[in-house]
Structure formats: C-alpha cells, structure tokens
C-alpha cells in the first residue's frame, strides 16, 4: 500500500529516488504564507456551501492559526515524503482533525492551489522589487543633482564623442530603470487574476464562488478559463523578462563603472566599503560589486531562458515540468533584490574625480562636432563642414596638438569662414549648454529632466 494522500490507486510505496526527484519542498516552502491565505479563502467557500459545518470551519481555522505559529517558531517539521508544502499543510490538518481535516481539499486540485499560492508569492516579490527600484530611482536623481557641474566625455563605440554633463549619464539610467518599474507595474495586473476554483483543469462542481474568493484575497478577478488557469505560466515569463531587463541595465552600468574606476580612466572613485582587495597584491582595490552584478546578469537571463524552454512544446494542461517554475523564479528574484540593495549603496557612495575630468576634458577632439556646427552656422553645408573638420583633426594628430589650443591662423588654413570668435567657441561648458533641445545635456535641460523625474516619483 502507498501511504501518500493520493496513494489509494497505488499498491507499492514510492521509490526513494523518485521521492527526492519529485520533491519541490526546497522551493515551494516559500509559498507557505500564500497557501495559508488561499486555503482560508477556500475554506470560507466550503463553509458557505455547507460542505463543512460552521463548527468544522472554526476547527480548521484554529488549526491553521496554530500551524502558522508553529511555522514561525520553527517547530513545524516538513516531511519530505509529502512532496511539497501544500501536502504538508493538508497532512497537518488531517493529523490534528482527522476526517474534518480531509475535507479541506474538496473542490480544489493542487493544480489550482499551487498556482494561486505562487501568484500571491510572486506579487509579494514584485512589490519588494518595486520598492527597491523606487529607491534606486531616487538615488539616480540625487546623483544627477549632485553632479550637474561635472562635465565628462560622452562615448559612442567606447570612443570619445562629445562632452556631456555627468547628470545626463545618471538620468539615462533613470529612464532605463523607470521603464523597468513601469513594466513590472503593468504585469502585476495578470498576477492578480486568481486560478483557485479552476480545479485540476475543468472547474469544480461544488458551486464555489470564485469571485468571492478573489475578493477575499484582495485580487482583481478570477482567471477566465479553467484549463488556461492551470496551464498558464506567462505571468512567470513576464516577471522574469522584467527582472532580466533590470539586470541588463545594471550590467551595462557595471561595465562603465569597472572601466571608469580603473587607473587608466580614473573618472570615478568607489567607496572602500563597496570594494575588495587582493590576497597577494596590496595595492589593489577591486570593483567586485560591479563584476558580480555583471556576472549575475547571466544567471537571471538563464532563468528566463530556462522558463521559455520549459514551456516550449508543452502540451495543454498541467504537466509536472511546470514545477521548475518556482526554482527559476526564486533564484532570479532573490538575485535581483540582492543586486538592487548593494548597487544602491554603491552608487550613493560613488564620487567623480571632477578635477581630473576638468583637466582631461580639453584634451583630444571632443569639440570637433562643435567646430562643424560653427561652420554650418556660418553658411557651409554640414557634409562639407564634416570633411573640413576631419582634415583639422588629422592635422592635429600629425602635429600632436589638441583641438583646443589651435590658433586662429591654423583654423583659417582650412576655411575662410573661420573668424577669430572660433577660439571663444572652443569651450566645453559652452558646448554642453548649446545642446539645449528637450532631453539634451545643457544645464537648463538637465534641470528640467531632474524636475520631471522628481514629479514622476511623487506621482
């Protein structure tokens, strides 16, 4: 005989290797709180439909409360033979109340029970990430405010391109992470659809009012199709995509900071509290937070790819493959929460080497586009101006000169449109403040972006 709660049809005990292989306790122990909430909502329907008496319902409520206390105190011991947290909870009820405990699973399947608890748990995780994202966005706004006067090279192809205010950089990441926040908020609506009452796949015959269950759980609406209710994992994909997007953005930021904190660049200085040293080289100060963030990005993307692969070609209805969803999700969201917390601290303590940047910003050819713009304003077609300035840059390279530092006579060799005012125009502050289009790097535009970002956070 098989002593499992579902063992009536079986004549042999489950193989121990099979028990270990099929157990999901290591992951779905995280569903305990949500399963208790959903079980109570289900119990209230069983009472309303007279499937359990008021006295039995009260007994079940009391035992559930006792179980919550034991779980909190660490005295509730999980039995690995019972496969998952849900069977452990049901076994606890039957051990305490006998036949009354056995009534709790009437009108529900583990298929709709599990996905309900999982959705509730994902919602909690998403809300935690949203709070951390808001904290990160505030951090990025503050860094933008602090560094309005810092002018640095902007890059394309990792080659110096044009000067920008450091604020523009932080505000770019504000926009990226702000989109992540909005996407997560959007996908929450699908998480708030309740599968409980869908049964194994076909619904239930006990008159369970799924709308009342939904209301009690403070959710939006019941899922509309019982088969889709248990087969769907799109909501896991949605959240894993958002978590992957967050990590992609962090990975790009990390790459910048790893480069910028190197001795060769030396643009930024990281706090000692957020760096580590070497076991052999005393001089080292390593950006391990950013390197690990970059590395963990692959881990979270791996969870997304794993879930996509699990769902590929899966037949309709519940299949045990779907048990993998929890392992993939919990690993990803725990990683993202860690990354958010440590990176917020890292960014808050990050400083620019502003004096060094001020010295370096005039080196090279960052103002080449400004010289071309000067010629355009004087009447030269842009493509011709581009060619002229290209020749000036080649002249500077051949003569080991910077663009700022050329004389008026040298400029005049390349075009008669150059006037003596070209020397005054070659100024990085004037350059950044000339880029005053909406969203640009001028001080006025930066202040507008900061103000809009702060208003958005309030709203």
Per-residue pLDDT reduced to its tens digit, 298-352: 999 999 999 999 999 999 999 999 999 999 999 999 999 999 999 999 999 999 9
Q: What are the beta bridge partners of residue 193?
A: 221
Residue 334 has a CB neighbour count (10 Å cut-off) of 13
Spatial distance between the Cα atoms of 227 and 236, rounded to a whole number of angstroms: 17
Spatial distance between the Cα atoms of 216 and 162, rounded to a whole number of angstroms: 57
Residue 391 has a CB neighbour count (10 Å cut-off) of 12
Return left, alpha or beta for 199; rule: phi > 0 is left, psi -120 to 50 is alpha, else beta: left
Q: Let me know: does 84 contact 24? Beta carbons within 8 Å.
A: yes
pLDDT tens column, 121-144:
999 999 999 999 999 999 999 999
For residue 4, what pLDDT is reported?
Answer: 63
Q: In the predicted model, what is the mean pLDDT of residues 351-360?
A: 94
In CATH, the number for domain 7-106 is 1.10.275.10
pLDDT band at 421 (very low <50, low <70, confident <90, very high): very high
Q: Let me know: does 247 contact 297? Beta carbons within 8 Å.
A: yes
For residue 13, what pLDDT is reported?
Answer: 83
- Write a three-state SS string for the chain: CCCCCCHHHCCCCCCHHHHHHHCCHHHHHHHHHHHHHHHHHHHHHHHHCCCCCHHHHHHHHHHHHHHHHHHHHCCCCCCHHHCCHHHHHHHHHHHHHCHHHHHHHCCCCHHHHHHHHHHHHHHHHHHHHHHHHHHHHHHHHHHHHHCCCCEEEEEECCEEEEEEEHHHHHHHHHHHHHHHHHHHHHHHHHHCEECCCCCCCCCCCCCCCHHHHHHHCCCCEECCCHHHHHHCCHHHHHHHHHHHHHHHHHHHHHHHHHHHCCCCCCCEECCHHHCECCCCCCCCCECHHHHHHHHHHHHHHHHHHHHHHHHCCCCCCCCHHHHHHHHHHHHHHHHHHHHHHHHHHHHHCCEECHHHHHHHCCCCCCCHHHHHHHHHHCCCCHHHHHHHHHHHHHHHHHCCCCCECECHHHHHCCCCCCCCCHHHHCCHHHHHHHCCCCCCCCHHHHHHHHHHHHHHHHC
Which phi and psi (to 5°) does residue 161 adopt?
Answer: -120, -75
Report how far apart the first and last C-alpha atoms of the chain are (Å, whole number). Answer: 62
For residue 413, what pLDDT is reported?
Answer: 96
For residue 20, what pLDDT is reported?
Answer: 79
Q: In the predicted model, what is the mean pLDDT of residues 112-128?
A: 98
For residue 122, what pLDDT is reported?
Answer: 98
What does the domain layout of the chain look like in residue ranges?
Answer: 7-106, 111-203+224-359, 362-448
pLDDT tens column, 52-105:
999 999 999 999 999 999 999 999 999 888 889 999 999 999 999 999 999 999
- Positions annotated as catalytic residues are 157, 278
In CATH, the number for domain 111-203+224-359 is 1.20.200.10
Does position 388 have pLDDT exceeding 60, yes or no? yes
pLDDT tens column, 191-214:
999 999 999 999 999 999 999 999
Query: Which CATH number is correct for 362-448, 3.40.50.620, 1.10.40.30, 1.20.1340.10, 1.20.90.10?
Result: 1.10.40.30
Q: Let me know: does 146 contact 450? Beta carbons within 8 Å.
A: no
């Amino acid at each position: 005989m098989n002593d499992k709660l579902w063992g009536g049809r079986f004549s042999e005990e489950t193989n121990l290797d099979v028990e270990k292989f099929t157990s999901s306790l290591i992951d779905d122990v995280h569903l305990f709180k949500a399963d208790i909430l959903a079980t109570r909502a289900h119990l209230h329907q069983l009472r309303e439909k007279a499937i359990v008496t008021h006295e039995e319902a009260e007994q079940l409520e009391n035992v559930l409360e006792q179980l919550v206390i034991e779980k909190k105190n660490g005295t509730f011991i999980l039995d690995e033979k019972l496969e998952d947290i849900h069977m452990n909870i049901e076994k606890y009820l039957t051990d305490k109340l006998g036949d009354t405990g056995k009534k709790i699973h009437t009108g529900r399947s583990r298929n709709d029970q599990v996905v309900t608890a999982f959705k509730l748990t994902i919602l909690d995780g998403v809300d935690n990430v949203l709070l951390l994202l808001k904290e990160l966005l505030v951090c990025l706004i503050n860094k933008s405010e602090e560094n309005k006067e810092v002018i640095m090279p902007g890059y394309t192809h990792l080659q110096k391109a044009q000067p920008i205010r450091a604020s523009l950089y932080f505000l770019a990441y504000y926009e990226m992470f702000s989109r992540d926040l909005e996407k997560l908020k959007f996908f929450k609506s699908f998480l708030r659809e309740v599968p409980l009452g869908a049964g194994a796949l076909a619904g239930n015959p006990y008159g369970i009012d799924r709308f009342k269950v939904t209301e009690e759980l403070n959710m939006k609406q019941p899922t509309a199709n019982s088969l889709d209710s248990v087969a769907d994992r799109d909501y896991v994909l949605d959240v894993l995509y958002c978590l992957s997007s967050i990590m992609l953005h962090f990975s790009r930021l990390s790459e910048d900071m790893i480069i910028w904190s190197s001795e060769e660049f030396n643009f930024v200085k990281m706090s000692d509290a957020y760096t580590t040293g070497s076991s052999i080289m005393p001089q080292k100060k390593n950006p391990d937070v950013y390197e690990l963030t970059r590395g963990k990005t692959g881990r979270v993307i791996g969870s997304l790819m794993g879930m996509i692969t699990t769902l590929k070609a899966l037949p309709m209805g519940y299949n045990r493959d779907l048990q993998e969803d929890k392992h993939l999700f919990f690993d990803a969201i725990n990683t993202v929460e860690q990354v958010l917390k440590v990176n917020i601290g890292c960014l808050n303590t990050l400083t620019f080497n502003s004096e060094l940047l001020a010295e370096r910003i005039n080196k090279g050819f960052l103002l080449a586009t400004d010289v071309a713009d000067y010629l355009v304003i004087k009447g030269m077609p842009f493509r011709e101006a581009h060619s002229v300035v290209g020749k000036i840059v080649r002249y500077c390279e051949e003569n080991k000169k910077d663009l700022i530092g050329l004389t008026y006579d040298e400029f005049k060799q390349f075009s008669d449109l150059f006037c003596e005012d070209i020397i005054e125009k070659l100024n990085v502050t004037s350059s950044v403040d000339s880029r005053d289009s909406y969203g640009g790097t001028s001080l006025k535009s930066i202040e507008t972006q900061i103000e809009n970002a702060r208003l958005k956070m309030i709203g």
